[in-house]
């Protein structure tokens, strides 16, 4: 059995863009071209304990200033379940559209048939 990696869990605070230290990503928000940042304060992000320790001063300052909200493993698991349900619902919706289906796009062999019949 593989060892589990210890994690710390965080979510963003609206209006406070916090980088995932050591990467180009942000915690719980993303840059939107021409609009600034878009927050998902419900999203719970897992950060390996080794990263938290490596950038400990930065993360500690973010927590102290209220830039991040510390969350639990239970919060993280619930968020992963929420995401899975959203993805499943979106996939079901797409499958439903295909079943009700718009017209099948004409293939290249159909184009010649229409000209011959006309």
Q: Parse the chain into domains and list their residue ranges.
A: 7-99
The average pLDDT across 88-102 equals 79
| pTM recorded for the entire structure | 0.71
On the CB side of 25, CA atoms within 13 Å amount to 8
Average pLDDT, the chain: 85
Q: What percentage of the chain reaches a pLDDT higher than 70?
A: 81
Structure tokens at 58: 């930065």
The average pLDDT across 11-36 equals 93
Contact of 47 with 10, CB cutoff 8 Å:
yes
Q: Which pLDDT score, from 0 to 100, does residue 4 have?
A: 81
Check pLDDT > 80 for residue 102.
Answer: no
Report how far apart the first and last C-alpha atoms of the chain are (Å, whole number): 68
Q: What percentage of the chain reaches a pLDDT higher than 90?
A: 69
Q: Which pLDDT score, from 0 to 100, does residue 72 have?
A: 97
Alpha-helical regions (H) of 1-118: 49-54, 56-65, 73-100, 108-117
Q: Which pLDDT score, from 0 to 100, does residue 97 have?
A: 75
Structure tokens at 59: 């993360």
Give 29-72 pLDDT, tens digit per residue: 999 999 999 999 999 999 999 999 999 999 999 999 999 999 99
Q: Which pLDDT score, from 0 to 100, does residue 118 have?
A: 42
DSSP assignments along 57-88, one per residue: HHHHHHHHHTSEEEE-HHHHHHHHHHHHHHHH
């Amino acid at each position: 059995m593989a060892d589990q990696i210890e994690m710390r869990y965080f979510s963003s605070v609206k209006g406070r863009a916090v980088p995932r230290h050591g990467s180009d990503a942000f915690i719980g928000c993303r840059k939107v071209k021409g609009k600034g940042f878009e927050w998902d304060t419900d999203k719970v992000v897992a950060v390996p304990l080794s990263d938290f320790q490596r950038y400990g001063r930065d993360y500690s300052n973010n927590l102290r200033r209220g830039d991040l909200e510390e969350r639990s493993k239970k919060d993280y698991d619930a968020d992963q379940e929420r995401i899975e349900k959203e993805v499943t619902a979106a996939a079901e919706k797409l499958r439903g559209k295909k079943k009700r289906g718009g017209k099948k796009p004409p293939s290249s062999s159909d184009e010649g048939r229409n000209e011959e019949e006309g």
